[in-house]
A and B are shown apart, each in its own frame.
Chain A
């Protein structure tokens, strides 16, 4: 059973709108990463937070932003939604010691119409 939970599971938004996706990390995990997975593709790294600071970012525009909170929950915000933003958004958490890899949530399926 995964220790990472994401909400909502599904979401439909209109082009130009803003969306906030939420993630509750596995207990004790101080690092959280967000990934975008388009249909038929592997997940693509968006950014990572460590102890509430962004410490890594992939090739995504500034309209993708995030927050990590002291309780290790986090948010992914996307402004000015575009049709190509339709994808599965995955949150992954880990300890500083990544011997056992990252734990992923089941994702939020975002559809932009």
Chain B
């Protein structure tokens, strides 16, 4: 049973801001929202994690509305090297063991 829904693909140009929205209608109270980035033939790389409102780091921002049924990953001024698959995950990071449930992700293609 898929816990998250995100677009299969998105296209952008260098220098633009990219927003990828993820739906997680059944998010539980203890669930956090985490985004990973994956380049071909590499393992996923942690980008950002949040619980509510807004989180920002040196790479991206994560916007989470009050009902937490969706979240938006914002990548400012993308470059060609941001072409990758982006995964949105929800899960309880404080559980006895925490597994990451990946969907198919969003393939972001950045063009010159």
Considering only residues 32-87 of chain B, those with a C-beta below 8 Å from chain A are 34, 36, 41-46, 49, 87
Tally chain B residues at the interface, Cβ within 8 Å: 21
Q: Given A99-B49, A101-B36, are A45 and B43 also a contact pair (CB < 8 Å)? A: no
Q: How many A-B residue pairs have CB under 8 A?
A: 61
Considering only residues 1-50 of chain B, those with a C-beta below 8 Å from chain A are 34, 36, 41-46, 49
List A contacts of B102 (CB < 8 A). 35, 42-44
Q: Given A101-B49, A104-B45, A107-B41, are A41 and B104 also a contact pair (CB < 8 Å)? A: yes
Q: How far is the CA of A41 from the CA of B99 in the complex (A)?
A: 17
A42 near B87: Cβ-Cβ < 8 Å: yes
Give the size range of A's interface with the partner: 20 to 34
B98 near A98: Cβ-Cβ < 8 Å: yes
With both chains docked as a complex, state the minimum distance between the C-beta of B106 and any C-beta of chain A, in angstroms. Answer: 11
List B contacts of A43 (CB < 8 A). 44, 100, 102
What residues make up the interface of B, taking CB atoms closer than 8 Å to A? 34, 36, 41-46, 49, 87, 93, 96-105
